Amino acid sequence: MSNRPVSNRPVSNRPVSNRPVSNRPVSNRAVSNGHATPVALLSLLTLLSLLSLLVVAACDGPPPALDGGLPGDVTVIVESEDTITSGLRAGDTGEAIQDGWDVTFATYNLVIGDIDVHLATDDSVVAEAPERFVVDLVDVPESGLPLWGFDDLTPGRWAFHYAIAGAADGATRHSSVPEAELAEMAAGDWTYLIDGTMRRAGGQSCPPASLASPGARTANGNTNADGDPCYDAAEVHFRLGVSAETTFGPCEIDEMPGFAVTAGTTTVAATIHGDHLFFNGFPEGGEGGVMRLAQWLADCDLDLDGEVTRDELEAIAPADLVELDGRFQLGGSPVTPLLTMWDYVVGQLKTQGHMDGEGECPYDGVAHDHM
């Protein structure tokens, strides 16, 4: 039985006509301008008129909407590359670190949000989710962490933008981040708080002799290509709070803009890579020649206490490190000029935003193509 409410409209009191019903058979011809026109012919003319209107609409208007024009919902997730959750291993190819170091992360906090999507065919159709969250990317599940959502978006392709921000501007703490760490990030207006450890059997640190302060440490008898003495260092730790506010977008994947909305729910990921800190440059275009190298960071431990700090990175110019040789291409950095190795760290962290895994997102309006 229908649950539709009964209408309160009053019933008409107009009397029912007593005119007898005619027994004349119904004609199969319609009257037009005083002339009888066959119904079949009239139907044909109507069909032809409708078809002509459809042709005009197809030529002059936009293509038909996806999925019959039904709106769709979108869930936006944060996704961590496995170089963050599982770390990087030493090796000769791919995402391996090619100078012998393994790297793992205990913490990889990030402030992320300001989701902004536009209908690709009409920039005036916009949806925004300005909320920001601070999340430890080490703890993000493999399926991603859903944080934002949009309902009833127009079907079609949508451009995708997002941002990483400073914690002092306000961010909701995800349960993966301790309150004390959020407070620390907010005090420094940090975008990232990264706690990592490099390990290598037989590893060593070879800081520039002119900057090093080894104290009681004894050199192991080895030197680098510049003749700087080396010191045993099987493990090097770093804990870096970094301000690297960046906007990403419009993102694309396989040369297609953004993501497609159809009826139902679409999921789109803001993916953060974790290996750019060890890139041998700032590639624009194909990355067939990209290498991941870590010895330079071990050589920034100027006091040889097993800990690389911001102060040490700010004390070292790229030209001071012999490891930054012909394998490194420093052009194209988002931070210019690159006066210190701290600038190098900030620049690399500003390039890590992607979409749906390997989809490319210009950073601060600069296009790049990371593989």
The pLDDT score that the predictor gives to residue 38 is: 42
**What is the percent of the chain where pLDDT is above 70?**
78
| Per-residue model confidence as pLDDT tens digits over 121-151 | 999 999 999 999 999 999 999 999 999 999 9
Amino acid identity at 159: A
* Residue 33 reports pLDDT greater than 50: no
* Residue 43 reports pLDDT greater than 80: no
The pLDDT score that the predictor gives to residue 366 is: 63
- Counting Cα atoms < 13 Å in the Cβ hemisphere of 287 gives 19
* Residue 217 reports pLDDT greater than 90: yes
* Residue 228 reports pLDDT greater than 60: yes
In terms of phi and psi (left: phi > 0; alpha: psi -120 to 50; beta: otherwise), the region of 44 is alpha
User: What would the mean pLDDT of 266-271 be, rounded to a whole number?
Assistant: 98
The pairing of beta strand 102-119 with beta strand 252-253: unpaired
Q: Is 3 contained in some domain?
A: no
Helices (H), 209-309: 295-298
Tell me which residue range forms the domain holding 314: 74-360
pLDDT: which is higher, 180 or 10: 180
What confidence category does residue 158 fall into, taking pLDDT thresholds of 50, 70 and 90? very high
Same domain, 78 and 55: no
Same domain, 345 and 215: yes
* Residue 244 reports pLDDT greater than 90: yes
List phi, psi (to 5°) of 362. -55, 140
Same domain, 86 and 36: no
CA pair distance 156, 179, nearest whole angstrom: 41
Q: How many domains does the chain contain in total?
A: 2
Q: Is 11 contained in some domain?
A: no
DSSP code, position 211: T
For the chain, the average pLDDT equals: 84
Same domain, 56 and 118: no
Same domain, 34 and 126: no
The pLDDT score that the predictor gives to residue 365 is: 65
| Per-residue model confidence as pLDDT tens digits over 81-103 | 999 999 999 999 888 999 999 99
Q: Is 37 contained in some domain?
A: yes
Q: What element of type H or E holds 37?
A: strand 35-38
**What is the percent of the chain where pLDDT is above 90?**
73
Of the candidate ranges 205-209, 268-272, 299-303, 365-369, the one whose mean pLDDT is the lowest: 365-369
Q: Is 224 contained in some domain?
A: yes
| Per-residue model confidence as pLDDT tens digits over 196-213 | 999 999 999 999 999 999
What confidence category does residue 313 fall into, taking pLDDT thresholds of 50, 70 and 90? very high
Same domain, 199 and 224: yes
Q: Is 5 contained in some domain?
A: no
* Residue 168 reports pLDDT greater than 70: yes
The pLDDT score that the predictor gives to residue 254 is: 87
The pLDDT score that the predictor gives to residue 283 is: 74
Same domain, 49 and 183: no
The pLDDT score that the predictor gives to residue 336 is: 93
The pLDDT score that the predictor gives to residue 288 is: 53
Same domain, 212 and 188: yes
Same domain, 206 and 329: yes
What confidence category does residue 67 fall into, taking pLDDT thresholds of 50, 70 and 90? very low
| Per-residue model confidence as pLDDT tens digits over 275-298 | 999 999 987 644 557 899 999 999
The pLDDT score that the predictor gives to residue 68 is: 52
* Residue 19 reports pLDDT greater than 80: no
* Residue 17 reports pLDDT greater than 60: no
Q: Where are the beta strands (DSSP E) in 137-276?
A: 145-153, 156-164, 172-173, 192-199, 204-205, 231-232, 235-242, 246-248, 252-253, 256-257, 259-261, 264-272
Q: Is 2 contained in some domain?
A: no
Q: Is 365 contained in some domain?
A: no
Q: Is 293 contained in some domain?
A: yes
Q: What is the pTM of this model?
A: 0.80
The pLDDT score that the predictor gives to residue 65 is: 46
* Residue 50 reports pLDDT greater than 50: no
| Per-residue model confidence as pLDDT tens digits over 314-323 | 999 999 999 9
